[in-house]
A = this chain, B = another copy of it.
């Protein structure tokens, strides 16, 4: 209880970074400064998007509420990515998608298992739900690997072919995602309603809608500023777009989930903690990715679905490790550390990559 209210206060205090970022952008300070300030500004805003969505869904009933959650759950990543696409940083967008998936699976889940396991011998969770997400992640891997192998085995296919391929695969992913909503919100909703049932709204509908709108619009402004600072950052620090995307942008976009998943795990609410970490990874793969492919066509700067081998290897290995660790429905601190160790290997390798 106390921990939670302290955390909420911290999030409110962090809101000060929103005006600070605007001032910094206005007086034109160094890109590193702007990158840091806007990053800190996005973290509490992402938290308020999540909170207001949760509040709203307490009024709308589970079906519409689930839809709201599914749509706004990764709003921050989506908004940052759209601004990055507009800035022509499509390689960084793919890097940050990769980073979001491996970050949710290895870093967030790893921290949840580790801190959740420090005071208990083991923590139990629903293995069936974890396996269902595992299958979805394997489908996502198939959708990401096949186009990459396509390009590897063709003699430099034309941009039009790659665009058609990306679009067709994105359509299959989007349809599969819609089917998953039909499954979880309609035909098999009883499997998912247990956790929802306990929740009672703290805010009025009006307040929820107002906060949702305000925080979404603010995230958009902050994201534009953040993305604007990245190009200069690449030059001044010598870091690659790949590394910034995979590690930093991914962590900023998922900071709110990060805090929630660990707090829940420490309270022993492992099922909800897993749902946030693994659920967020599947949503990025099956919802954010196709939406970005479609959006990129409207922006006139098509983002292909061709991830590089490095990103694919990281995603595939993360999914295999997580599926293996979660399939027994139990966790302990060492399993958390194994996930963190795998993440550590990825960070090292992405950092050193030229």
Which residue numbers of A lie inside 8 Å of B, CB to CB? 121, 128, 131, 134-136, 138-139, 141-143, 145-147, 149-150, 152-155, 157, 161, 164-165, 168-169, 172-173, 175-176, 179-180, 182-183, 187-188, 308-310, 313-314, 317-318, 320-321, 323-325, 327-328, 332-335, 337-338, 341-342, 344-346, 348-349, 352-354
**Complex CA–CA separation, A182 to B169 (angstroms):** 43
* Least distance between A171 CB and chain B CB atoms (Å): 9
* Least distance between A146 CB and chain B CB atoms (Å): 4
Residue from the set A136, A142, A180, A317 with the largest chain B CB neighbour count within 10 Å = A142
Contact A142 B317 (CB under 8 A): yes
Contact B154 A313 (CB under 8 A): no
Contact B348 A172 (CB under 8 A): yes
**Complex CA–CA separation, A324 to B133 (angstroms):** 10
**Complex CA–CA separation, A218 to B46 (angstroms):** 64
By a CB distance below 8 angstroms, the chain B residues around A147 are 349
Some 16 contacts from A to B, beta carbons below 8 A apart, are A128-B328, A131-B327, A135-B324, A135-B335, A138-B320, A139-B342, A142-B317, A147-B349, A149-B313, A152-B309, A153-B308, A154-B354, A165-B349, A180-B334, A183-B332, A183-B333
- A188-B121 in contact given A150-B352, A348-B169, A353-B154 (Cβ < 8 Å): yes
* Least distance between A287 CB and chain B CB atoms (Å): 14
Contact B348 A165 (CB under 8 A): yes
- A324-B131 in contact given A139-B342, A176-B341 (Cβ < 8 Å): yes
* Least distance between A43 CB and chain B CB atoms (Å): 27
Contact A352 B172 (CB under 8 A): no
By a CB distance below 8 angstroms, the chain B residues around A188 are 121, 332, 334
Count of chain copies: 3
A134-B324, A139-B321, A142-B345 known; 6 new pairs, CB 8 Å cut-off, are A135-B338, A139-B342, A146-B349, A150-B310, A154-B353, A179-B334
**Complex CA–CA separation, A168 to B145 (angstroms):** 28
Contact A341 B149 (CB under 8 A): no
* Least distance between A63 CB and chain B CB atoms (Å): 16
Identify A157's interface contact among B145, B309, B354, CB under 8 A.
B354
Contact B141 A317 (CB under 8 A): yes
Contact B139 A341 (CB under 8 A): yes
**Complex CA–CA separation, A92 to B138 (angstroms):** 28
**Complex CA–CA separation, A171 to B347 (angstroms):** 13
* Least distance between A151 CB and chain B CB atoms (Å): 10
Contact B155 A337 (CB under 8 A): no
**Complex CA–CA separation, A176 to B169 (angstroms):** 37
